[in-house]
């Protein structure tokens, strides 16, 4: 019979036992942080919280929040909770030098992270004998390494393709008979199109399931990918700060992602007040790690907006489910899987001698994100008609690529031609319509 669970006892644990496990682990995790991370200990002290106040999961709300700014401030070692000699790995967020967050892992941390990814793979039907094509990027990005490790644990034959080189992806997919595909949803859609262009139909590949995440995607996109590749497409969620993919994963029911609650406790808060909201209400997702050695995070504000649900799931898992993230409470954009902040674009413009009058237009064409940046020229360069506007735009695009890691299309426009709004400037127009 097909295996349905990777760690059945945990994945189907009754609520009371899970809360007891979480309580026990939380107390230990908080002590570990208190003893080893002076920065967080200070935050606790400022809030008047001591170790005695944290007796179990019901006391979680007493702890102070951590934000991405804390992580950046403390770059690189400020939140490390173990000697660096005990660490065997770092991973980092996509984005730029200024915005990078570095996460550290001990061997045990890697092990538990890979278990989480293995749970996701087994939930979609992967098993020994499957051929798992991992087409997330390998390297600092967590997607490739995480699913690679999970695939090994399940016993699949792992194809560590990394992203890009579509011809080779297709060649291995077909020649080696890949049955499970792991990549971003936009790359899955692109692969599907490329197969079609090569005159291949869904029956020509052996794929049965795909695990797609790292960026928002819609139900329509899911249906398209399923039809064009002839597979079932599943969502997976995670963030570098909390280890990477596998914090939450979809099961056969395809209606939200089960959170690996034995390793990560989820709360939903009001992003404006920080108040914890009752289960079922929409708000910002906050995670507390329970088992991490090197880089534990207590009450980390993800900025992702979602809803939690404890409705019974037909797959038999009792782990709480989160809906697809419905946007973010900060201004971060995810473009082709890369985290982009409008402020980075502004920094480049100012550095290159432009005014900060700009507008970012993001769209999705043929399932690939596009990034157009409209920038007003200075009156001086505008009157200089002989100047080659095209080469100026290319130069600016190059500088932005260096900062962002992805190439925008830059359009230099006449001074004062970008509409000024009365309130906050509308810096970003996102036409991707990824959410209801
Ligand atoms: O994207 C980890 C990952 C890799 C997840 C592979 C799934 C698959 P970061 O680069 O740190 O880590 O970006 C984390 O990406 O806060 C969300 O805003 C967004 N995100 C991740 N998964 C999803 C998803 C990886 N399934 C940020 N749906 C998170 C929507 C997602 N957004």
| C-alpha separations of 185 from 190, 248, 300, 395 in Å | 9, 16, 26, 31
Pairing of β 338-340 and β 333-335: antiparallel
pLDDT number for residue 218: 79
Q: Tokens 């790690």 correspond to what residue?
A: 289
From the CA of 240, give the closest atom in ligand 1: 11
Pairing of β 358-365 and β 428-430: parallel
Ranges of beta strands (E only) in 261-347 are 264-269, 283-289, 300-306, 308-309, 321-322, 333-335, 338-340
CA distance 209 to 294: 33
CA distance 212 to 250: 10
**416 phi and psi angles, rounded to 5 deg:** 65, 15
Band of residue 241 on the pLDDT scale cut at 50, 70, 90: very high
What's the DSSP call for residue 121? H
pLDDT at 433 over 80: no
Residue nearest to atom 18 of ligand 1 (CA): 304
Band of residue 221 on the pLDDT scale cut at 50, 70, 90: confident
- How many residues are there in the chain? 436
pLDDT number for residue 424: 46
pLDDT number for residue 120: 98
pLDDT number for residue 208: 98
Q: Tokens 């928002």 correspond to what residue?
A: 216
pLDDT number for residue 26: 98
pLDDT number for residue 422: 53
More reliable by pLDDT, 328 or 69? 69
User: Could you tell me if 391 and 384 are in contact, meaning their C-beta atoms sit under 8 angstroms apart?
Assistant: no
SS3 readout for 369-387: EEEEEEEECCHHHHHCCCC
270: nearest Cα among 55, 98, 65, 31: 65
pLDDT at 80 over 90: yes
CA distance 257 to 322: 5
CA distance 271 to 285: 9
Q: Tell me the pLDDT tens digit for each residue of 132-154.
A: 999 999 999 999 999 999 999 99
29 in contact with ligand 1, CB cutoff 6 A: no
Percent of the chain scoring above 70 in pLDDT: 94
- Which H helix or E strand runs over 192? helix 185-197
98-107, 189-198, 416-425: the lowest-pLDDT one = 416-425
Strand partners, 257: 250, 322
Q: pTM for the complete prediction?
A: 0.85
User: What's the angle, vertex CA 346, arms to CA 340 and CA 351, rounded to 5?
Assistant: 120
More reliable by pLDDT, 86 or 357? 86
pLDDT at 319 over 90: yes
- Cis omega (within 30 of 0) on the bond before 411? no
Q: Tell me the pLDDT tens digit for each residue of 190-209.
A: 899 889 989 999 999 999 99
Q: Tokens 């360069």 correspond to what residue?
A: 381
Q: Tell me the pLDDT tens digit for each residue of 262-309.
A: 999 999 999 989 999 999 999 999 999 999 999 999 999 999 999 999
CA of 334 to the centre of ligand 1 (A): 9
pLDDT at 155 over 80: yes
pLDDT at 423 over 80: no
pLDDT number for residue 326: 77
Pairing of β 308-309 and β 321-322: antiparallel
| C-alpha separations of 172 from 194, 387, 416, 430 in Å | 14, 48, 52, 35
CA distance 192 to 215: 18
pLDDT number for residue 98: 57
What's the DSSP call for residue 221? H
More reliable by pLDDT, 325 or 56? 56
pLDDT number for residue 99: 61
pLDDT number for residue 330: 80
CA of 243 to the centre of ligand 1 (A): 11
**Substitution candidate for ligand 1 out of 237, 257, 266, 430 with most atoms within 8 A of CB:** 237
Band of residue 238 on the pLDDT scale cut at 50, 70, 90: very high
CA of 392 to the centre of ligand 1 (A): 34
User: Could you tell me if 258 and 5 are in contact, meaning their C-beta atoms sit under 8 angstroms apart?
Assistant: no
236 in contact with ligand 1, CB cutoff 6 A: yes
Q: Tell me the pLDDT tens digit for each residue of 109-133.
A: 999 999 999 999 999 999 999 999 9
Tokens of 241: 């700060």
CA distance 431 to 52: 50
244 in contact with ligand 1, CB cutoff 6 A: yes
pLDDT at 24 over 60: yes
Axis crossing angle, helix 185-197 with helix 219-229, rounded to the nearest 10: 40
CA distance 382 to 212: 45
256 in contact with ligand 1, CB cutoff 6 A: no
12-21, 52-61, 354-363, 384-393: the lowest-pLDDT one = 384-393
239 in contact with ligand 1, CB cutoff 6 A: yes
User: Could you tell me if 207 and 178 are in contact, meaning their C-beta atoms sit under 8 angstroms apart?
Assistant: yes
């Amino acid at each position: 019979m097909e295996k349905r669970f990777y760690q059945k006892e945990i994945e189907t644990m009754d609520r009371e036992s899970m809360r007891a496990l979480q309580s026990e682990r939380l107390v230990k995790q908080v002590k570990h942080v208190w003893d080893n991370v002076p920065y967080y200990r200070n935050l606790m002290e400022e809030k008047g919280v001591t170790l005695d106040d944290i007796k179990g999961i019901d006391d979680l709300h007493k702890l102070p929040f951590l934000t991405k700014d804390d992580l950046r401030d403390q770059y690189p070692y400020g939140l490390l909770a173990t000697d660096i000699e005990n660490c065997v790995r770092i991973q980092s967020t996509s984005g730029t030098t200024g915005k990078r967050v570095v996460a550290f892992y001990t061997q045990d941390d890697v092990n538990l992270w890979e278990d989480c990814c293995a749970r996701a793979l087994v939930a979609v039907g992967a098993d020994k004998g499957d051929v798992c094509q991992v087409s997330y990027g390998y390297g600092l990005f967590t997607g490739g390494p995480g699913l690679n490790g999970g695939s090994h644990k399940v016993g699949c034959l792992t194809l560590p393709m990394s992203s890009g080189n579509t011809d080779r992806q297709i060649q291995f997919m077909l020649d080696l008979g890949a049955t499970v595909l792991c990549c971003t949803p936009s790359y899955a859609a692109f692969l599907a199109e490329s197969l079609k262009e090569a005159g291949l139909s869904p029956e020509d590949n052996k794929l049965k399931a795909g695990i797609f995440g790292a960026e928002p995607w819609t139900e329509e996109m899911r249906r398209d990918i399923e039809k064009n590749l002839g597979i079932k497409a599943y969502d997976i969620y995670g963030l570098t700060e909390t280890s990477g993919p596998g914090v939450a994963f979809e099961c056969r029911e395809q209606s939200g992602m089960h959170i690996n609650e034995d390793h990560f406790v989820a709360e939903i808060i009001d992003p404006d007040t920080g108040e914890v909201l009752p289960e079922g209400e929409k708000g910002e997702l906050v995670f507390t790690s329970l088992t991490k050695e090197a880089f534990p995070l207590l009450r980390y504000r993800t900025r992702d907006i979602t809803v939690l649900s404890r409705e019974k799931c037909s797959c038999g898992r009792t782990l709480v489910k989160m809906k697809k993230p419905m946007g973010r409470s900060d201004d971060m954009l995810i473009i082709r899987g890369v985290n982009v902040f409008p402020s980075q674009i502004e920094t480049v413009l100012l550095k290159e001698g432009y005014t900060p009058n700009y507008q970012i237009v993001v769209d999705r064409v043929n399932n690939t994100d596009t990034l157009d940046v409209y920038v007003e020229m200075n009156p001086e360069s505008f009157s200089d008609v002989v100047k080659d506007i095209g080469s100026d735009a290319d130069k600016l695009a190059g500088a932005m690529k260096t900062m962002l890691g992805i190439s925008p299309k830059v359009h230099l426009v006449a001074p004062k031609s970008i509409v000024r709004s009365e309130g906050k400037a509308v810096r970003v127009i996102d036409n991707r319509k990824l959410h209801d």
